[in-house]
Amino acid sequence: MKSSLIPLLLVAAACMSTPAIAQTLKAEGVAGAASAPGRAEMARAARVSATVSAIDKSSRTLTLKGADGKQFQVVAGAEVRNFDQIQVGSEVVVGFMQALALELKKGGGAKREIVESTAGGRAEAGAQPGAAAARRVTVVADVVATHDATQTVTLRGPQRTVDLHVPALSQYQLIKVGDQVQATYTEAIAISVEPAAKK
């Protein structure tokens, strides 16, 4: 599939799962895309930081302030071990990565499905607070129609059917009814808390 299809799927995936901190703060990072006949990939990685300006220990709520002065609140769930070590002035650093790979499967034959897996970890007892998590979703969809006039393909997944425009004619011409498209979306996030700056 053409790399210009990727933003559509990446935006859809990002709307469901981009970390709230990354949406609120201006992130610094890198992005890249690549494509080959019947295949396309896109990835981005970024790192954002904020300073703890207030702590509500009873609700485990942190008020964070970004470099631009904007403040917002996040709840540090039970997976954030060593919560009591967090202090006003501590820096919270969030690293995240998102990637999407699309692959045309000629001739099809695989089961239409969604497969999701997750993994995670957290700081050791006594270490600086932190947690990490990763999620991968793979979707297999059938090509049920092609529309030459608009260079659009109709994909039927396990839960819904969508029409996608393929801008590059060379990529569109590779796709036939009966083929399948496999999309794999991966995201990972790591959160760490650094000690408050000494005054």
171 DSSP β-pair partners? none
Per-residue pLDDT reduced to its tens digit, 1-22: 333 333 333 333 333 333 444 4
**Secondary structure class of 7 (helix, strand, coil):** helix
Can you read off the two tokens belonging to residue 183? 């999309």
Report d(CA 106, CA 157) in Å as an integer: 16
pTM of the predicted model, to two decimals?
Answer: 0.63
Is-contact 33 86, C-beta < 8 A?
no
Phi, psi of 158 (to 5 degrees): -70, -20
> Alpha carbon of 131 to those of 51, 86, 128: distances in Å?
17, 13, 10
Is-contact 61 73, C-beta < 8 A?
yes
The whole-number pLDDT of residue 4 equals 34
The whole-number pLDDT of residue 83 equals 79
The whole-number pLDDT of residue 23 equals 47
Report d(CA 157, CA 136) in Å as an integer: 17
Report d(CA 127, CA 115) in Å as an integer: 34
Residue spans of the domains in the chain: they are: 3-194
One digit per residue, the tens of pLDDT, for the chain of length 199 reads 333 333 333 333 333 333 444 444 455 566 777 778 888 888 888 877 888 899 998 998 888 888 888 887 877 777 676 778 888 988 888 777 888 888 999 998 899 999 998 887 766 666 666 667 788 999 999 999 999 999 999 999 998 898 888 878 888 899 999 999 998 989 887 777 766 555 5
> Please, what is the end-to-end C-alpha distance for the chain in angstroms?
55
Per-residue pLDDT reduced to its tens digit, 54-86: 999 899 888 888 888 888 787 777 767 677 888
Is-contact 151 165, C-beta < 8 A?
yes
Is-contact 102 181, C-beta < 8 A?
yes
The whole-number pLDDT of residue 36 equals 84
> Alpha carbon of 71 to those of 25, 65, 119, 148: distances in Å?
9, 4, 30, 50
The whole-number pLDDT of residue 3 equals 35
Is-contact 81 123, C-beta < 8 A?
yes
